Structure 1
Amino acid sequence: MATLSSFLRATVTRVVAESPDARTFVLTPHDGPISYRAGQFCTFRVTVGGTALYRSYSMSSAPETDTELMTTVKRVPGGAVSNWMIDTISAGDEVELSKAAGRFCLRDTEVALLGFSGGSGITPILSLTKAALASTTRRVRLLCADRDRASMLFDDALADLVTHYPGRLEVVRHLDSESGFLTPAAIRDFVGADTDGDHYICGPEAFMELVEKAVPGPGVVFSERFAPANAAPAVDSSAPQDDSGGTVTVILNRKKREVPRKAGETLLESARRGGLAPPFSCEQGNCATCIAKVVSGHATMRHNDALTDDEVADGYVLTCQAVPDTTDLTVDYE
């Protein structure tokens, strides 16, 4: 097990106000450029009130078109990390971030790319748009939903791309303040004849579910979320259980679930089996999205490229990598 954090340090070279409640942070990593693909994210580690917190933010830059690494963060009610970053970080400050991760990326195809974004969900969609236009001959069509004009992100950047790639990029802006909430019929009208396109969806959960249900087939759908849409089905207590013995207790959002321990099963898998929807993303031990604290018992991580030795000593684990090695264990997603 590796317990040396692989988080990297970077200097914030510029902070760009994209809207009253969104900022783009332009970053210069200390050890040279970070390798990433358009549509991926990095996990940031910040200390707020003496507590280390982790949040994943997508890149708004693309390696095909940008020499600088950029990530865009939007203020959200109660957002401990996003609000702290917007209110606190200035040019010249240093931040910690993980290696890039995520599978919300372009595939090797020439079908049309259709992007559906809600609010700050435009961030990875912009990255994918830049990459597709610069490195392929694909048509790109975007449906961007925002609360109102003041909330719109990257309007100038998208307008510039439309000018630079005439006939290949179409951007449709939907404003709730002017047209009401987006409807399934409007989504199907937007798709039109591009039913076989690749559909990339990112935004608030309700927005993503709306689009996922509305887009017609047979196109491939890619959705970017840092937690699953729905809880896994609760464990069937009448089904045969593993003979490992013991119990895994998972606490998440004030809910507690107990499931029989299964040999070789990670804590993340146990939580899902118990009907919970814990946060996760890379499932490779790199991003810390799935961090939780073992409050009783012990678990060993198969791989850890995110947590420091001190955090591991305090009981924190990456639940996508942690396997119980005591009969009973309790883990709390604080």
Structure 2
Amino acid sequence: MPTPFPLFRRATVTRITQETADTRTFVLAPHGGPLSYRAGQFCIFRVRVDGRHLLRSYSMSSAPETDDELMTTVKRVPGGKVSNWLHDHVMEGDELELTEPRGQFCLRPALADTPLLGFCGGSGITPVLSLAKSALTGTDRRVRLLCADRDRPSAIFYEGMAELAERHPGRLTVVRHLDDERGFLNAADIKEFVGADMEADAYVCGPEPFMELVESALQGSGRIFSERFGGGQVPPPPPPRQAPTPTKPPAATEGTITILLGNKRVSVPRQANETLLQSARRAGLAPPFSCEAGNCATCTAKLTEGTVTMRVNDALTEEEVTEGYVLTCQGVPDTPSVTVEYE
């Protein structure tokens, strides 16, 4: 029997801070002792809503170099089952289930004079704040943050970031772009913010349109690191209906994909270039997933037969991959027969 993944442990909510009208920070005391983590990482949380276990990934807003307590900050998402449940039902003294911290959105080694630029859209400030605190404490690098928000009341950590800048004069600069005052952020704003720091390391987190804008505007020689979770984005309106164009169904290839989820074991014919997550859906299952970009590890399962190639992996460690774990949203079978088991 494969080892269940991810392994969850419980943590007591010791304090809740209302950051904005729709954002709260949950201070956690993990059972069994503190969690070891790096700034910028996240935990997968498991909650039971309407009789079903749901998984979501939330970043740490604390940093191990500066904070004695583990903190995660969650913004209420319209229609978001987990974020709304956390806001509406969790009180101080309650317990939550979470995994060990994970993720690759962490500080990379850099020269002391390489600036760090952070680009945050809305709640994307959460992991970037963690990175900033870590860099300011553990390195001599300059840190500059561009934070885009709808308006002043929705700006998360507004006072906290200002206080942090006061504690690090000359090293931390925080620029707040408020849409109601300056209009929507554009490429010119980003290039103006970057200025002469074309070779800086850039860390980007926020809604997908924001991230695409920032990434396309960064044309220097610096490195770009992005964190995508994807959950909670409001989809665009559907295009006008058009007469369907006849298409041939995807051709099945030799082999079988077998998925074990809960008490179900389902097999479907293998299809070319189809991910394991897509195969599971085609089989009528509803496996856990969130970002579908290879970042959050929510869709992880264990490979028990065959081999796969992951298109993107920004969540699993080398050790976990060696043990057979795979991001099913990114895993494409290499062998005719593949079997994976979800927790």
TM-score range, shorter chain: 0.7 to 0.9
**By how many angstroms is 1:281 displaced?**
6.6
SS of 1:167's equivalent in the other structure is coil
Local SS of the residue matching 1:185:
helix
Matches within 5 A, 1:216-235: 216-226=219-229
Name the counterpart of 2:18. 17
Q: Does the CA contact (< 8 Å) of 2:258 and 2:338 recur in 1?
A: yes
Q: Which amino acid aligns with 1:245?
A: G
Does residue 260 of structure 1 match 2:261? no
* Equivalences for residues 18-37 of structure 1 within 5 A: 18-37=19-38
Query: C-alpha displacement at 1:217, in angstroms?
Result: 1.5
* Residues 300 and 323 in structure 1, CA contact (< 8 A), matched pair in contact too: no
Pairwise CA distance, 1:245: 3.3
Q: CA deviation at 1:128?
A: 0.3
**Superposed, which structure 2 residues align to 1:210-289 within 5 Å?**
210-226=213-229, 244-246=254-256, 260=271, 267-268=276-277, 279-280=291-292, 289=298
Q: 2:219 is paired with a residue of what secondary structure? A: coil
Measure how far apart 1:323 and its partner are.
Answer: 6.8
The total of aligned residue pairs comes to 286
Q: Which amino acid aligns with 1:105?
A: C
Aligned AA for 1:279?
C
Counterpart code for 1:215:
L
* CA deviation vs aligned residue, 1:115-162 (integer Å, no higher than 9, x gap): 000000000010000000000000000000000010011112111111
Q: CA deviation at 1:301?
A: 7.5
1:284-329: CA deviation from partner (whole Å, max 9, x where unpaired): xxx651169xxxxxx7489xxxxxxxxxxxxxx9626797999699
CA RMSD in angstroms comes to: 3.7
**2:148 pairs with 1:138:** no
SS across alignment from 1:245: strand
Determine helix, strand or coil for the equivalent of 2:255: coil
- Conserved 8 A contact 1:226-1:289: no
Q: After superposition, what is the alpha-carbon deviation per residue over 1:196-231, rounded to whole angstroms, capped at 9, x for unaligned?
A: 0000000000000000001121010001002599xx
Amino acid at match of 1:7: F
1:179 corresponds to which letter in structure 2?
Answer: R
Give the structure-2-normalised TM-score: 0.74
In structure 1, the partner of 2:178 is 175
Q: 2-side partners of 1:3 and 1:132: how far apart?
A: 35
Change (3 A) 1:330 1:165: closer
Please name the residue that 1:253 is paired with: none
Cα separation, partners in 2 of 1:291 and 1:79, compared to 1, 3 Å? farther
**Equivalent position of 1:186 in the other structure:** 189
Q: Deviations over 1:13-67 (max 9, x none)?
A: 0000000000000000011000100000001000001100000000000000000
Shift of 1:7: 0.3
- Cα–Cα, structure 1 residues 25 and 220, in superposed 2: closer, same or farther, change >3 Å? same
Aligned amino acid, residue 267 of structure 1: L
- Structure 1 residue 107 displacement after superposition: 0.9
| Alpha-carbon distance in structure 1 between the residues aligned to 2:258 and 2:143 | 46
Q: 1:278 to 1:60 in 2, by over 3 A?
A: closer
1:115 alignment partner in structure 2: 118
1:71 aligns with 2:72: yes
Q: Which residue does 1:157 correspond to in 2?
A: 160
Q: In 2 relative to 1, CA 194–259 (structure 1 residues): closer, same or farther, beyond 3 Å?
A: farther
Structure 2: how far apart are the matches of 1:126 and 1:62? 8
The answer as to whether partners of 2:305 and 2:339 remain within 8 angstroms in 1 is no
Q: 1:215 to 1:107 in 2, by over 3 A?
A: same
AA partner of residue 90 (structure 2): I
What's the offset of the Cα at 1:92?
A: 0.1
Matched, 1:86 2:87: yes
Identity among equivalent positions (%) equals: 57
User: Corresponding residue for 1:207?
Assistant: 210
Aligned match of 2:97: 96
Structure 1: how far apart are the matches of 2:129 and 2:24? 15
Contact conserved, 2:9 with 2:98, CA < 8 A, in 1?
yes
Which 4+ stretches in 1 moved above 3 angstroms?
241-249, 268-271, 277-283, 299-302, 320-331
Q: Which runs of 5+ in 1 are unaligned?
A: 230-236, 250-256, 272-276, 293-298, 303-316
Which residue of structure 2 aligns with residue 312 of structure 1? none
Output the amino acid matched with 2:271.
P
Any gaps of 5 or more consecutive residues in structure 2? Answer: 234-247, 260-267, 281-288, 307-325
Q: In structure 2, do the counterparts of structure 1 residues 329 and 37 end up closer, same or farther at CA, with 3 Å as the change threshold?
A: closer
- The aligned amino acid for 2:197 is D
Partner Cα distance (1:180, 1:168) in 2:
28
